[in-house]
Amino acid sequence: MDRRSFLTATAGAVVATGLGGPGAAHAAAALDPAALLEQRLATALLHPTAETAPASLSALRRQFAMASAEFASCQYLSLADRLPVLVTAVEHTTREHGTAATAALAAQVYQLTARVLGKLDVSAGLQPIAADRAARAAENSGDDLLLAAAREVVASAARRTHHPEQAQRISLAAVESLLHSGVRTAATWRAAGMLYCGAGYAAAVRGDQARSAEFYREAAATAERIDDEPGRTRLLAHVRSHQISAAHKLGDAVAALETARTVPFAALPTTERQARYLVDVAQAWAMFGNPDRAHTALLAAERLAPGEVRTRGAVRRLMGELLASPRAAAMPGIRALAARVHATQGRSAAVDANAAGGRVTTT
């Protein structure tokens, strides 16, 4: 694939981000990012275009940098244009030029793909495919940090496919392997801390509160080993924000909310991480029995990152709870928010029933 063909294939991202004017922006808002990502990534992973020619490594790296930036800023409609093309291109390039450098880039592309798929309810069968390819490519690259990151997404895929014990084992084995490599840099500690967080969340999914707390303590202790203060602060913020999800999974809304108050929001390094934090807070408020505060947190997340709340399956499930709440009719703009996050199907009657004081059922 030459440079002109590659850039043409990803040019649709301009329209998807609404740069074509008000009409284009309105059309983009009506699109379902989750459906587009699932459909296009399924094609790229399962039915890649056979005639696609290899691309240069420099062109692929530029496209990966742009895809990573789109993920970090929650520009998922743009990503739905760019990432599937990149997956196909990197697959063909790796087959034609099987070097450590191409394997390293392939590992990064597949890791990003697995992380994207982790946001979608419909992608349970696709995420393990992307994660497995990330791990295989990382092994071929010979890069211990890439392999640790790949095992992190493999563990995530195992957890999402209802294998939390396996996810926990994968995470802990990856930490052990990484630390046995003998390298002790800030990047090493960061990777180990992220893996401990994965183990902590897997333990929470299993209902093991004690082990979950233990792994998060290990993650925090690992963060303290980072010499530079900004890096240490970012990882500690990640650990704490991660614990909100774990507490929610354990059914402890109070712990989730108390943990949320300790997170230095500005230390969360990307829009994606900040938006995830706000969605986690919304889930905690809903579990606590305060749907109004949950609604407020979701609106804050949408103001920060519309793409995050309009893509994540967790938001759609939460919107179902809010629409079924007796308080739904008193939440300003609840119908419009539900429509924007593509969570209205089968739920509109819930708001009407609440307004009439009737019994609510959900579908």
Question: Residue 276: its pLDDT value, please?
Answer: 98
> Phi and psi of 358, rounded to 5°?
-90, 175
Q: pLDDT-derived band of residue 243, with 50, 70 and 90 as boundaries?
A: very high
DSSP state of 269: -
Tokens for 113? 């793909």
pLDDT, mean over the chain: 88
User: What per-residue confidence (pLDDT) applies to 97?
Assistant: 85
pLDDT at residue 15, rounded to an integer: 34
The pLDDT tens digits of the residues spanning 247-293 come to: 999 999 999 999 999 999 999 999 999 999 999 999 999 999 999 99
Residues 59, 75: Cα–Cα separation, whole Å:
21
State the Cα–Cα distance between residues 82 and 89, nearest whole angstrom.
11
* Rounded alpha-carbon distances, angstroms, from residue 154 to 13, 44, 133, 334: 29, 19, 9, 36
Contacts of 111 (CB under 8 A, 6+ apart): 130, 131, 134, 146, 149, 150, 153
Model confidence pLDDT, tens digit, residues 179-234: 998 788 999 999 999 999 999 999 999 999 999 999 999 999 999 999 999 999 99
In 98-252, alpha helices (H): 100-117, 127-141, 144-160, 164-179, 186-205, 209-223, 229-249
Integer Cα distance of 212 and 161 in angstroms: 19
Q: How far apart are CA 139 and CA 133, in angstroms?
A: 10
Residues counted in the chain = 363
Read off the pLDDT of residues 49-104 as tens digits, 9 standing for 90 and up.
766 667 899 999 999 999 999 999 999 999 999 999 999 999 999 988 889 999 99
